[in-house]
């Protein structure tokens, strides 16, 4: 949409106040008839010009709009042509820079933007969007398949799949597995593959690695039509240092802090956004709106939230303090609250997820109650404790690593993540973390997945983990699909699929996630076993029993909520799951033998390093 003169003053007023949440309609390049109009924010530039294919990269000057810090111009050009801005800073040096609001870029190693207007797509996901509006995420099962598009699958010549090709491969596969959502690692434009997309330059542009922007919209549309939500990772805290991107955009710190110490992100070799600057807020909040509203994403997983919450989070900043003497980044906190207010105003029921590793209170509490306003937070403590427990040999484990999570179950609204970060950089794959020989590694992995799936909290699993890939994740090549020729890997994939479908089939496993009564621990003081009941009013309760040692237990007493008949819906040692039990007892009858506070109990055979899921059977007659 081109800039209309009558509205320009109002738009610029809002932009400079940090209140323009759809600035992409105005800034950047937009086609008007047979020419393109350009709008760029460069408050300290002495001069600004646009250069591109159409004028042999000769500067076409832009004009300043009063003292707003914004420059405007026009050129007769064709869609798809390359362009950059040429800015002369207050130091007299002229630099070529990308368009921060560009909708498309050329393929790397080039970094020029392409003349492209707002991506257009003929959407067919109305039913999905209406369902999302009608049912908030708290009322839904949420199981997320995390995916790095560049290394999920590749062509025989190692070339990437395009967005369109990926839609035909990824969506049916994830649908069959039984997950409810796909989470894409960042697909905003970025120059370095090794950054996995977490060091961005194009906050409004799908990366050109996998095809044109419209194809990504087609991927999202196809996922919705298949009944799958799509979330993407988004990085508002920091950006790449590259000289032709946002760094010192107009020759001075523009998007980053003026204080070089605060601007420098040592941990990731990038620059921190000045989150307290109004125009930076308009830029970033417009990016969030663009992906949620224009691209129909179902949510954003906001990366590195701790880096925005604390002034002393980064290396070399251990003693940094705010104006009140505290360690909190006051600008970062205010920005995150504003982000979530804007996101929940832009679309109905988005998933706003914080990747946050500290104990900062109220991450998922509403802003009006003093919280940050996210609706979910990754439970990094649960993940770390779970992996620390299961990676040790059974005789060396401390069950309190697991049961400690019961103390803070309701502190936040959690997602339980086994993400890409846990299977890279020498940390080993989930399968490789498990102790014992190959058979016992799979047995441990199955029990750990039952713990993950039945523990209160939404779910996230990184690609390849569903079949127990042994090699840790490598971003430069596709997953080890050949593993599936091994019966144990194939059975593990089948087991995970069965588990995901059970999760969706039995609402007690998710409907009580945020309810005080949603989980009743019936055996929590036994160092070698756990038992608990997932429940929700009006739903069939699910009894979970975990045997955490490599010894079968006959006549094991499982507390149950009432007498009657019970049915085993999952036994991790069934031969179909990769275990050894060819005959699996399916039915039990509760007797009036009290156990751990329950009046009735079952006398079951509990498999070695195994788990059972048990439900009551309907009364006859």
* CA distance linking residue 103 with residue 105, whole number of Å: 7
* CA distance linking residue 35 with residue 314, whole number of Å: 46
Percent of the chain with pLDDT over 90: 95
Parse the chain into domains and list their residue ranges.
1-131+189-224+236-375, 520-616
* 332 touches 325 (CB < 8 A): no
> Is residue 476 over pLDDT 70?
yes
Kindly indicate the confidence band of residue 619, based on its pLDDT and cuts at 50, 70 and 90.
low
Write down the pTM of the prediction: 0.96
Structure tokens that stand for 450 in this block: 């039952």
Nearest to 239 by CA among 275, 292, 278: 275
Instruction: Write out pLDDT tens, residues 558-591.
Output: 999 999 999 999 999 999 999 998 888 999 999 9
Kindly indicate the confidence band of residue 154, based on its pLDDT and cuts at 50, 70 and 90.
very high
* 597 touches 561 (CB < 8 A): no
Q: How far is CA 143 from CA 46, 299, 461, 504, in A?
A: 52, 14, 8, 9
Structure tokens that stand for 307 in this block: 């880096």
Q: Does 215 qualify as catalytic in the annotation?
A: no
* 360 touches 332 (CB < 8 A): no
- The stretch 599-613 carries a mean pLDDT of 96
Chain centroid to Cα 526, Å, comes to 35
Kindly indicate the confidence band of residue 90, based on its pLDDT and cuts at 50, 70 and 90.
very high
First vs last Cα of the chain: how many Å apart? 66
Ordered alpha helix ranges (H), 347-403: 380-390, 400-403
- The stretch 306-321 carries a mean pLDDT of 95
| Domain 520-616 coded CATH 2.60.40.1180 | yes
Position 620 scores a pLDDT of 52
Q: Does 303 qualify as catalytic in the annotation?
A: yes
Strand partners, 239: 271
Kindly indicate the confidence band of residue 2, based on its pLDDT and cuts at 50, 70 and 90.
very low
Q: Which contiguous run of DSSP H or E holds residue 589?
A: strand 587-590
Chain centroid to Cα 43, Å, comes to 34
State the catalytic residue, choosing from 331, 355, 385, 483: 355
Q: How far is CA 351 from CA 268, 325, 406, in A?
A: 26, 34, 24
Taking residue 592's Cβ as centre, other Cβ atoms within 10 Å add up to 8
> Is residue 210 over pLDDT 70?
yes
* 196 touches 233 (CB < 8 A): no
Fold match between domain 1-131+189-224+236-375 and domain 520-616: yes
> Is residue 3 over pLDDT 70?
no
> Is residue 309 over pLDDT 60?
yes
- The stretch 480-503 carries a mean pLDDT of 98
Q: How far is CA 551 from CA 447, 556, 610, in A?
A: 14, 12, 9
Instruction: Write out pLDDT tens, residues 16-66.
Output: 999 999 999 999 999 999 999 999 999 999 999 999 999 999 999 999 999
State the catalytic residue, choosing from 22, 303, 412, 600: 303
The CATH architecture one would assign to domain 1-131+189-224+236-375 is Sandwich (2.60)
Kindly indicate the confidence band of residue 5, based on its pLDDT and cuts at 50, 70 and 90.
very low
Hey, what's the torsion of the CAs at 206, 212, 215, 220, to 10 degrees? 10
């Amino acid at each position: 949409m081109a800039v209309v003169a009558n509205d320009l003053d109002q738009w610029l007023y809002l932009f400079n106040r940090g209140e323009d949440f759809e600035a992409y309609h105005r800034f950047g390049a937009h086609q008007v008839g047979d020419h393109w109009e350009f709008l760029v924010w460069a408050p300290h530039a002495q001069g600004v010009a646009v250069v591109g294919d159409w004028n042999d990269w000769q500067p076409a000057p832009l004009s300043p709009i009063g003292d707003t810090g914004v420059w405007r111009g026009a050129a007769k050009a064709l869609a798809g042509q390359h362009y950059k801005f040429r800015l002369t800073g207050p130091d007299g040096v002229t630099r070529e820079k990308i368009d921060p609001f560009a909708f498309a870029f050329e393929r790397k190693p080039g970094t020029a933007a392409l003349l492209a207007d707002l991506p257009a797509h003929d959407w067919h996901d109305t039913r999905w969007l209406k369902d999302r509006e009608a049912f908030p995420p708290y009322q839904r099962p949420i199981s997320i398949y995390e995916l790095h598009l560049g290394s999920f699958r590749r062509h025989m010549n190692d070339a990437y799949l395009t967005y369109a090709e990926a839609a035909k491969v990824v969506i049916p596969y994830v649908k069959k597995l039984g997950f409810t959502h796909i989470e894409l690692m960042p697909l905003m434009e970025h120059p370095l593959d090794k950054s996995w997309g977490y060091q961005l330059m194009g906050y409004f542009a799908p990366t050109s690695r996998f095809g044109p922007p419209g194809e990504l919209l087609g991927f999202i549309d196809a996922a919705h039509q298949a009944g799958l939500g799509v979330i993407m990772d988004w990085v508002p805290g920091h950006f790449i240092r590259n000289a032709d991107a946002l760094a010192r955009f107009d020759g001075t710190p523009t998007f980053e802090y003026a204080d070089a110490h605060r601007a420098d992100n040592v941990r990731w070799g990038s620059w921190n956004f000045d989150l307290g600057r109004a125009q930076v807020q308009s830029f970033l909040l417009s990016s969030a709106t663009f992906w949620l509203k224009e691209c129909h994403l179902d949510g954003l997983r906001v990366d590195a939230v701790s880096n925005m919450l604390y002034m002393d989070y980064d290396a070399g900043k251990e003693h940094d303090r705010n104006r009140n003497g505290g360690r909190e980044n006051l600008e970062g906190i205010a920005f995150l609250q504003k982000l979530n207010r804007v996101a929940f105003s832009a679309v109905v029921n988005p998933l706003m997820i914080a990747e946050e590793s500290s104990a900062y209170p109220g991450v998922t509490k509403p802003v009006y109650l003093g919280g940050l306003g996210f609706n979910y937070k990754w439970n990094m403590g649960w993940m770390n404790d779970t992996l620390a427990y299961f990676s040790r040999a059974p005789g060396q484990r401390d069950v309190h690593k697991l049961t400690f999570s019961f103390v803070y179950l309701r502190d936040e609204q959690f997602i339980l993540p086994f993400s890409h970060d846990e299977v890279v950089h020498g940390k080993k794959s989930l399968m490789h973390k498990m102790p014992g020989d190959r058979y016992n590694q799979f047995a441990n992995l199955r029990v750990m997945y039952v713990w993950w799936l039945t523990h209160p909290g939404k779910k996230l699993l990184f690609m390849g983990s569903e079949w127990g890939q042994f090699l840790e994740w490598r971003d430069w090549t596709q997953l080890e699909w050949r593993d599936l020729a091994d019966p144990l890997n194939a059975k593990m994939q089948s087991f995970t699929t069965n588990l995901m479908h059970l999760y969706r089939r039995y609402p007690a496993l998710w409907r009580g996630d945020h309810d005080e009564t949603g989980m009743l621990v019936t055996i929590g003081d036994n160092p070698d076993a756990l038992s608990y009941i997932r429940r929700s009013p009006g739903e069939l309760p699910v009894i979970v029993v975990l045997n955490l040692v490599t010894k079968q237990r006959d006549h094991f007493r499982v507390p149950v909520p009432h007498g009657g008949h019970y049915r085993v819906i999952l036994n991790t040692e069934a031969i179909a799951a990769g275990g050894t039990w060819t005959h699996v007892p399916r039915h039990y009858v509760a007797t009036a033998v009290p156990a751990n506070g329950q009046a009735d109990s079952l006398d079951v055979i509990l498999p070695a390093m195994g788990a059972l899921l048990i439900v009551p059977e309907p009364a006859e007659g």
